[in-house]
Structure 1
Amino acid sequence: MLSPTSLLLGIAYLCSSVDAATWYFLRYNLPSTQSFLSFSGALAVPKLPKAGTYYLWPGLQPTDNSGVYQNVLDGRSGTWWIGSGWCCSNPSLPWGSGFNTVQGDSVRFENTRGASAWTSVLTKGSQTVTNSFALSSKTFNQVLFAIELTGVSWDFGPLVFSNVVIVSRLSSPKAWCTNAPENYNSATNYAISGVSASVSNNVVTCKINSVALQSPK
């Protein structure tokens, strides 16, 4: 999986493919001095038309654009597999564990910053995997909902996230939540519903009922 901002800058983070990816993503940005503290939600697993380099993911990217911390739905084997990890260097970290999943499943993802590491929890029904990544030194100021395709097209239908909660240190204003996200290259038809932001104990909690990447433009 590749880092979109780094790719746009012409720096390829080669995790599993050397070919150029086609990107569709929405991004919420904080000022470079602010950081996200947690990011959670549920991903509705779409159909997988065939084996191919389909990477569908929510993720966090830091101010230095050194990579991306992500929960990736991976279609290369012909069966969806989801796992968490950091792509790809600075630091070099092993990929986390995961599990197979199929169309119609709902997979909950929870990414939380701790004192020394970020922890990712993926849950499908009674199945749960937990992994920690030594990334607490990173200042994650970007949240992404991404579709990354290499050698395949967007032929799997909408990608829908629900019950999204994003927590950040207090930034002024808190409009990063209630304003529309960045739509990279205006490439994606999308719909967002049920957005609210609240402030307590010097943090912003952003709640979004649904984020749907509906189709390419």
Structure 2
Amino acid sequence: MSHGKQFTLYTHNTGPNGWKVAFVLEELGLTYESIYLEFNSGEHKRPPFTDINPNGRIPALIDHRNGDFTVWESGAIILYLVDKYDTEKRISVADEKERYHLIQWLFFQASGQGPYFGQAIWFMRYHSEKVPSAVERYQKEILRIFSVLDGVLAKAPGGWLVGGKLTVADLSFIPWNNGAIKVALAGLKDVDVEKQYPALWAWHQKLLERESVKKCLALQFQLMQS
């Protein structure tokens, strides 16, 4: 089969983890087609998508110019993309120790930031009953993780997580940070992210100014309006 674009990205119009991958594809100038799965109909929980990702979650990526190689889990996809296609180390690192620090932050994002931030939004917006204790627990986890990031970024060269420059480690945090600031922490009178976590806030604003990020977020907004 002939494919006009190198990659097919299975994703969702609002699902944060798919946008992490889109940022990386854009930064590397790689051509891709996004297929936005319909969660309400359960499209992601049945074939043909579960033939690609048996876990039934987004994202998943097919590299058509590498024998239709398929990989799922956003962190694994990101590592595949930079290992194979970021030969100039534009958004990754060459030093072995720094590479493990980059992987460390990808793991932290996937195991700490994403799940906790996601649970906060779930219990605030989608759970069938109000559970104030759950909302409070996960809002506190957001603030804890913000504190971790703020402390590290305040001391980090250039205000970036690894190597004194933008890498995929930084890009991976954008979607869930957006969700936390705009949704999960919105309305909390005793929380001012800009004032209480200044290094994190400055870092997040720098990331939002990336052309790749602006392009993807503009597309996401358009999809959500349609």
Task: Report the TM-score when normalising by structure 2.
Answer: 0.27
Query: Of Structure 1 and Structure 2, which has the larger fraction of its residues in strand?
Result: 1
Query: Of Structure 1 and Structure 2, which has the larger fraction of its residues in helix?
Result: 2
Higher Cα Rg: structure 1 or 2? 2
Relative contact order, higher structure (CA 8 A, sep 6+): 1
Task: Report the TM-score when normalising by structure 1.
Answer: 0.28
